Amino acid sequence: EIVLTQSPATLSLSPGERATLSCRASQSVRSYLAWYQHKPGQAPRLLIYDASNRAPGIPARFSGSGSGTDFTLTISSLEPEDFAVYYCQQRSGWPPLTFGGGTKVEIK
């Protein structure tokens, strides 16, 4: 099973700042990685798929990069609604699908 490790666990930033989230895979997942945003009491939302493709309706301030074992989600300028938990997910090692442990982006 491919293990995804996200860092940091918590990111404390102010609105307008840039957020950089990391996801590292235990073995290569090629570009088969997605990012999700999850707010308490809400359904998770797909942000990025295949490492760098924004899902429909996702603002341009969200971008993904990386391949192989190291991936990054960047939020160029944090909006108030961006404070949430973010998860990466891989499909290369299917089955199973696996998720990272999450990074919480909180207001500083």
Residue numbers of the site for another protein (CB under 8 A)? 1, 34, 36, 38, 41-46, 49, 55, 85, 87, 89, 91, 94-102
CB of 8 to another protein, least distance (A): 14
Cα angle 73, 75, 5; round to 5: 30
The two tokens of residue 49 are: 């798929």
30 or 91: CB nearest another protein: 91
CB of 95 to another protein, least distance (A): 4
CB of 68 to another protein, least distance (A): 18
43 or 60: CB nearest another protein: 43
Strand ranges in the chain using DSSP code E only, listed in sequence order = 4-7, 10-13, 19-25, 33-38, 45-49, 53-54, 62-67, 70-75, 85-90, 98-99, 103-107
66 or 100: CB nearest another protein: 100
CB of 53 to another protein, least distance (A): 10
Bond into 95 cis (ω within 30): yes
